[in-house]
Structure 1
Amino acid sequence: MNFLNEVAARFPDAISLAAGRPYDGFHTTDDVHRYLRSYLAHLEAQGLSHEQRERRLLQYGRTNGYLGDLIARMLAVDEGIEVPGDAVMVTTGCQEGMVVALRGLCALPGDVVLAVEPCYVGLTGAARLLGVEVVPVPESADGLDPETVREVAAAVRVSGRRPRALYVVPSFANPSGASMPVPARRRLLEVAAQCELLVLEDDPYGLFGLDDEPRPTLKALDTDGRVVYLGSFAKSAFPGARVGFLVADQTVRAADGTRTLLAEELSSVKSLLTVNTAPVAQAVIGGYLVESGCSLRAAGKEKTAFYRANLRALLGALEQSFGEDPRVRWNAPAGGFFAVVDVPLTADGAMLEVSGRDFGVLWTPMGFFYAPGSGGGRRSVRLSCSALPPERVAEGVRRLAELVRAHGDPVEAAGR
């Protein structure tokens, strides 16, 4: 992430198809003030006094946060997920939720986490920071294959290690854009139960399908308490708030027989990381939820339409620029922010420098999303279409085509 930021800073005039951030045009700082007022009005309607409202925003607060009930209502309205508010931990971005979950679940020597590969670097980076081993599970064109999960989990157990959890992005994954069919989602939950795995479901892009086809979350399908759900308001609201959440409604039984929710147990980890998520940031998101009637789907229709148009623009530009080039292949995601393009050149940091300097376009090497030394993604790039208007997306692809014409292998077909 730092490398991409540094490259973007060196080539500020380049079109960035690397950034996976949301489009800037959906909110202004005036909205922040309005959301704060809306949340304060919500607290007043709940009977909190002026002093209590002031304290809620301006003092340290509850470790797991104040938005549990609003987020639980949102999950019920939008996703059909029924959990109590106490099962929700409000986090400082979804990244903190990953750290908390990994530290809480992988606490003993030999505990490992399985993760889809290619994998979002935030998860692998969090695991590396904690010293938790990540075992890759190769992804197919249709997302994670449950039977591959079973095979990898069995191999890990044979080696004497214990697979504790599986990380997956079922809908429009970052970086691949792949999405699991519903039957595969149901089967994955069965495999997780058989393999005694908890599933860490990361769902930042589920709102942004190219169509309105129902794609139930794993958490909505879960009847066995297998799924810990990771969410974020970075894409649905705005990333500057840095508010995410973790849903862990599993029951934990202590040695003395007392029972608590897993989210409450994990609060001991969060308390040592950030004490609590910034109450002012929570209030901004709380106001957003209040104004939306706790429905991100209803509030985000304009965003969904924009990202749909951008993804179609990206796929159309790829066809126009590379449709007659047999050396280049790409996938066609059914939603989300990303597509993967196989190119006839080594797509590494050195080539990215050339691309930014000489061709005015930036992209993300897919090698960043594979285990170090594996060689995966060496000749592939991730293109993001979220941060730019459609015409700039198309121009960025045109510039990428110029790079491929200038530096691509004229004989060898592209391949990952």
Structure 2
Amino acid sequence: MRLHPSSLHDSLQDPVLGSIGFLNEVMSRYPEAISFAPGAPHPDTLDDLDTERYVDRFIDYLVDEGRSPEQARRLLLEYGPSRGIINGIVRDALHRDHGIDAPPNALVVTVGAQEAMLLVLRALFRSAEGVLAVANPCFVGIVGAARLLDIDVVPVDETELGIDLDALEEVCRSSRAKGQPVRALYVAPDFSNPGAARMSLACRQRLLDLADREDFLVIEDNAYGFTAPAGVELPPLKALDTARRVVHIGTFAKVAFPGARVGYVIADQQVGSSSGERLLADELAAVKNMVTVNTSPLCQAVIGGMLLEHGGSLTELSRCKSEIYQRNLTCLVDTLDRYLGEGLHPGIRWNRPRGGFFVRMDLPSPVDAALLEVSAAQYGVLWTPMRQFYLDRTGDNRLRLSCSYLDPQQIEEGVRRLAAFLMEETDPGRTVAVAADPPVAPG
């Protein structure tokens, strides 16, 4: 039996779906290269993770809540409820640290943020009804999930203050006129991946007002909010959401560790006309029953134990990690200034975010897979082309640098190599090798 690609779902031919596998492949081919590609947690944050201690801590919590030791142990070894077993702990942490006020039954614990995105999109979008608006550039995970589900995606340009709200309002009007209104907007208000934009408080409030006026839901991805420097934190959109317009997605991949594959979604929107009807979270749990059945109780126990050991606080759990990422981001920007600043290469520019994992760089020539190969093979430095982060392919001259996975010494040497590469190989007259779509790193 040989299947023809045309007999399979169209999304399987989309370069976005193949992009996630790029990182391991290219890093394995160039193991000595310094990689600014992966948006992965720093290896030091994974040292001394005593998962057994965290599980024991969570079991003690269950016993304190009234279960016998045997009942607590069995809870971690069986399938468990589809909506999760650490919902109350996570809900309390979000309320304490971020001002999000939602009942535990509005929260579903998921297999990472990626499953949360898939569940939310499947529940919200009926066939060919409505479109998903996203920032341009946008995280490939949400675009890939939408294409798997045959959901039309429309791009809205991103500014340094997040999604362009004037452009979004125009997209709402034009989409409605075409009979396909904007059903939902995906947005990462804090240090987005890959653009590193951050919405101001005024922009957050204006977005919520626009969502209410134009009748769409906001899917908020809060993966990088914890990296904000002390004193400049901003409330998540969900904390400002008085009209229940925001579906809030979070993950423990960065604040705890990615191998647990534990995320969550808060969906407190009522389904039905009376207060006694179901919540959207109930619908997500029903979909999850058909996708992954449940999130590993053992992995949830590790995350629950980690939170409990840090006083039930996400802020305390992530404090040391946030300091590492702030250190690395400052190091990256400062080193770029030293090697490429002061007019040394006028055609090269980069942004200076105050948090997150990423720096966006503009070049005077196109960025493609062939250029990445030269950078890796001849200069020993890797980065991520940004073309596939753009739905309209306007990012041909941009690359993304991630600083999360490296030490300051590696960042220094990596930027030195990057500068040598850019000074020698970038040429405003160079054309794009359009035959091969550039790969995209995950995270």
Provide TM-score, normalisation by structure 1: 0.95
Among 199, 203, 211, the residue aligned to 1:184? 203
Q: Does 1:273 align with 2:291?
A: yes
1:163–1:411 Cα change, 3 Å: closer
Task: Please give the secondary structure, in 1, of the residue aligned with 2:40.
Answer: coil
Q: 2 CA distance for matches of 1:208 and 1:150?
A: 30
Aligned ranges for residues 225-240 of structure 1 at < 5 Å?
225-240=244-259
Contact 1:201-1:230 at 8 Å conserved across structures? yes
Report which stretch shifted further, 260-269 or 233-242. Answer: 260-269
Partner of 1:407: 425
Q: Where does residue 335 of structure 1 map in the other structure?
A: 355
1:382 aligned onto 2:397:
no
- Asked if 1:173 corresponds to 2:192, the answer is yes
Structure 1 unaligned blocks of 5 or more: none
Residue ranges of structure 2 left out of the alignment (5+ in a row): 1-19, 431-443
Distance, in Å, in 1 between the alignment partners of 2:338 and 2:266 is 43
Question: How far, CA to CA, are the matches of 2:80 and 2:131 in structure 1?
Answer: 33
Q: Residue 342 and residue 70 in structure 1: after superposition, are their counterparts in 2 closer, same or farther (change >3 A)?
A: same
The letter for the 2-side match of 1:157 is: R
Deviations 1:129-176 (A, max 9, x none): 111111111111221122221111111111111311000000000001
Identify if the C-alpha distance between structure 1 residues 66 and 376 changes in structure 2 by more than 3 Å, giving closer, same or farther.
same
Alignment of 1:364 with 2:390, yes or no, is no
Distance apart, 1:410 and its partner CA:
6.0
Q: Work out whether 1:56 is the aligned partner of 2:83.
A: no
Equivalent AA in structure 2 for residue 208 of structure 1: T
Contact 1:143 1:178 in 2 (8 A): yes
Q: Classify the secondary structure of the residue corresponding to 1:200.
A: strand
In structure 2, the partner of 1:158 is: 177
Q: Which residue of 2 aligns with 1:326?
A: 346
Find 2:42's aligned residue among 23, 44, 51: 23
Pick one of 203, 206, 213 that aligns with 2:222: 203
Q: Give the 3 Å change call, closer, same or farther, for CA 179–39 of structure 1 in structure 2.
A: same
Contact 2:59 2:69 in 1 (8 A): no
Alignment check: 8 A CA contact 2:256 2:317 kept: no
What is the Cα deviation at residue 111 of structure 1? 2.2
Q: Following the alignment from structure 1 to structure 2, what is the Cα–Cα distance between the partners of residues 317 and 3?
A: 27
Contact 2:128 2:151 in 1 (8 A): no
How far apart are residue 411 of structure 1 and its match? Answer: 7.2
Is the CA contact (8 Å cut-off) linking 1:345 and 1:407 kept in structure 2?
A: no
More deviation, 301-310/223-232: 301-310
- Paired residue secondary structure (1:231): strand
The residue type paired with residue 194 of structure 2 is P
Does 1:284 pair with 2:296? no
Deviation of 1:258 (Å): 4.8
2:268 corresponding residue in structure 1: 249
Please name the residue that 2:410 is paired with.
392
* 1:303 is aligned to 2:344: no
What secondary structure is seen at the aligned counterpart in 2 of 1:344?
A: coil
Corresponding position of 1:44: 63
Tell me the matched-pair count: 409
Change (3 A) 1:20 1:249: same
Question: CA separation of 1:143/1:102 partners in 2, compared to 1, >3 Å: closer, same or farther?
Answer: same
The answer to whether 1:84 aligns with 2:76 is no
> What is aligned with 2:435?
none
Structure 1 residues 30 and 213, CA gap change in structure 2 (3 angstroms): closer
What is the identity, as a one-letter code, of the residue corresponding to 2:360?
A: V
**Displacement, 1:29?**
6.1
Instruction: Assess if the C-alpha contact under 8 Å between 1:39 and 1:284 holds in 2.
Output: yes
Alignment RMSD, CA only? 1.5
